[in-house]
Chains A and B, each alone.
Chain A
């Protein structure tokens, strides 16, 4: 796999504050990398430096082996950047908005209509083609911005919190869209501090805190390293204390915690032995409501990583 995006000792200093410190990242073509960090970690700063919008204090980044400092124009042609905060023009219709950007990206006029229809189709905004952009809902604007980002068919997408401020429904829409882009073979760097939204389609993850890259690599690999096991969730009707005592004594269970009526079980055994826990519980007469694997994998990693569990 070829490396399509690479940062080399990328650093940005604001006065006394080191916003991004010596960041080295590599992303292969076709990867979807989740770029995670708490507020103020330096995600936006990093993405802007890659997008040629901010001059690094030192270090640099390469997109397709083009240095962002030396060949900003070429880099801009290859990337699609969606900012975390953005606006739309007043008094402009959806298609006019896209037509403006298509022309600004020098897409020849005879191809423009088809390109615009394609991205509108993809982002499911066809019905809003002749509406004024300021009348669109927040989620639609977000999708419109993504549509604008896709106009010049960039190989690399830099998406800065594309789902922030959206309701769950709209968030799922964006997620579906990103999955579709993934299937189109785009490379995506997507930042977020809301972890679950990245969990099911990222294959890579990089975690940044206070400007420092804490860990990066394969999601599965890091998950294993971070947890040393799986997190199981168990709901019971009653007898929590008894269950905790019993589970704690079982093999392959590292710890059991109770949170809001849910028991969280740290399981280190083989996945196909998992059922034994359930059998044991049921045969001991516990009223099991549900028994499942926890879904919030990245969050789990994140909490561990940022509290120093993995270096």
Chain B
């Protein structure tokens, strides 16, 4: 044997050595592909897509009266139109099929009482979840492969390039991956398959609706939005589009694929922690992943808005950035700040002693407490960086409406960001503390989260309702602003933004400020700080009573 042959042979054996085997995949595929049902499904899929193509084809035929003249407007990019219809159809069918493929993946193991036996084997939780998602994805890939000949037909009509078709398929795969992950995730956290299916269908439906709406507004609204590639429904149209982010062109498809895949990975990582008896410490990965996805979104969003600054001004830019930050952090407060506390040491000690670096990733509500604060600070720093890149050194002119008299003010944008950051930090800490308190009072994590969500909704909705009521019921004069009700403005989480950016347009029912808008943020921070201290003290007191009672898990 020559040296070359030996090398080749050992290389080949090396490749054979890494042969991947996941028994879960083998088993799932064995049952899924058994008998004729898989073939019928594949055939149904192709027939459906074929019908869709045919309808599109003939609708064009009818419009042109059977005359395919090259200069007729309906015939422009005819192949593209066909492929676009095909992609829409595939994206929707995938969204409909995926929950039924994945939502039962782990709940069925629970319902059939096989999960204990499965988790005692040498398979890790990660192996199990990987097996479930791989088998679902292999099935979807098979369906997508079945549709390739139809795409070939579209290609023959011209006006669409093989690259566009390739990118569209990649987007469809990322789309299917995200949805499969959503299905597996809900399957991991639910007891019943029916519940998991419902939640998966709902989430997938919402995601499809929003992302497709987003993409549509991007397509018809001039400038392309970086997030337009999230939806696969419109993938054909956007496969080679570029979006401007801080003056750099980024392929929309790439953003969509990467975001969909990373959200999917995040959900799968969370799912592994939910399989019983494999309590691996995964909260570090999950939190870092969430933070990463959020920061990328933030950067893309602000950069994107900046790219179309003709439409927006700096005030709107800051406002939008904080809205993104708040929308991404507030729902997570109820996730991270609830759960069982340790019962061997007091809550104060859990919160304030020990190494904070470890604390942030601790899989307990107190860890969530520090993580949320860190998240808020990192988010604000990100906003600061984005804004100073996008619109450096802008002085904002703000309109405000203090209790005493309305007026106009000047504020440096960085000061405004700082004021908003500190002002809202107070309410972030307060809501988190209320989450800790709720977890001490009710043992069940879901109930604690529900209580906290209720408190948050009240805080967000209470003030606007009050203001709306007052303005409509009375002939409102400045003097009434000193009424007790208006002290509540400080508990309106949105107020620091309103005060610092002066969101008062004529006729709006924005809050009346008790003090000068320059100090409103201090008022908000102090008001929520008092709430935080009260909630934490009460939680500590209640937790002390439970000290020594061991955890029941």
Q: Contact residues of A with B, CB < 8 Å?
A: 13-15, 51-55, 57-58, 73, 76-77, 79, 81, 83, 85-92, 96, 99-101, 103-106, 109, 145, 148
Contact = CB atoms under 8 A, between A and B. Distances in A.
Interface stretch (B26-34, B44-52, B257-265): B26-34
B105 to A, nearest CB: 12
30 contacts: A52-B120, A52-B277, A53-B119, A53-B120, A54-B277, A55-B553, A76-B122, A81-B117, A81-B120, A83-B113, A85-B113, A86-B113, A87-B112, A88-B114, A89-B27, A89-B114, A91-B34, A92-B27, A92-B30, A92-B31, A99-B26, A100-B23, A100-B27, A103-B21, A103-B23, A104-B118, A104-B122, A104-B123, A105-B122, A106-B122
Contacts of B119: 53
B277 A53 contact: yes
A215 B97 CA distance: 57
Given A91-B31, A96-B30, 7 more contacts: A14-B552, A51-B120, A76-B120, A86-B114, A89-B27, A103-B21, A104-B121
B260 to A, nearest CB: 30
User: Chain B contact residues: over half helix, strand or loop, or mixed?
Assistant: loop
Top-8 shortest CB links A-B? A103-B23, A87-B112, A104-B121, A87-B113, A91-B31, A100-B27, A106-B122, A104-B23
Contacts of B552: 13-15, 57
A53 to B, nearest CB: 5
Contacts of B27: 89, 92, 96, 100
B29 to A, nearest CB: 11
B415 interface: no
A63 to B, nearest CB: 13
Contacts of A58: 550
A65 to B, nearest CB: 20
A104 B553 CA distance: 26
Interface string B250-282: 000000000000000000000000001100000
B409 interface: no
Contacts of A90: 31, 112
B359 to A, nearest CB: 23
A73 B125 CA distance: 12
B116 interface: yes
B273 to A, nearest CB: 15
A164 to B, nearest CB: 14
Interface in B29-76: 30-31, 34
A57 to B, nearest CB: 5
Contacts, number: 77
Interface in B340-384: none
B103 to A, nearest CB: 16
Contacts of A89: 27, 31, 112, 114
A52 B117 CA distance: 11
B26 A100 contact: yes
Contacts of B276: 53
Interface string B500-528: 00000000000000000000000000000
Interface in B98-148: 111-114, 116-123
Given A55-B553, A90-B31, A103 B114 contact: no
A309 to B, nearest CB: 34
Interface in B406-434: none
Contacts of A106: 122
A16 B114 CA distance: 29
Contacts of B26: 99-100, 103
Contacts of B114: 86-89
A93 to B, nearest CB: 9
A170 to B, nearest CB: 20
Contacts of B21: 103, 109
A76 to B, nearest CB: 5
Contact of A83 (B23, B117, B121, B277): B117
Contact of A88 (B23, B112, B553): B112
Contacts of A87: 111-114
A305 to B, nearest CB: 29
B31 A105 contact: no
B112 A105 contact: no
A89 B112 CA distance: 7
B276 to A, nearest CB: 8
Contacts of A85: 113
Name which of B30, B34, B118, B120 has the most chain A CB atoms within 10 A of its CB: B120
B392 to A, nearest CB: 55
B519 to A, nearest CB: 50
Nearest to B127: A104
Contact of B116 (A53, A103, A104): A53
A88 B27 CA distance: 13
Contacts of A83: 113, 116-117
Nearest to B112: A87
A159 to B, nearest CB: 13
A73 B552 CA distance: 22
A215 to B, nearest CB: 27
Nearest to B550: A57
A254 to B, nearest CB: 47
Nearest to A86: B113
Name which of A51, A57, A96, A104 has the most chain B CB atoms within 10 A of its CB: A104
Contacts of A77: 122
Contact of A105 (B30, B121, B277, B550): B121
A80 B30 CA distance: 26
Given A53-B277, A55-B553, A101 B31 contact: no
Contacts of B277: 52-54
Contacts of A91: 31, 34
A103 B113 CA distance: 19
Contacts of A100: 23, 26-27
A101 B121 contact: yes
Contacts of A54: 277
Nearest to A55: B553
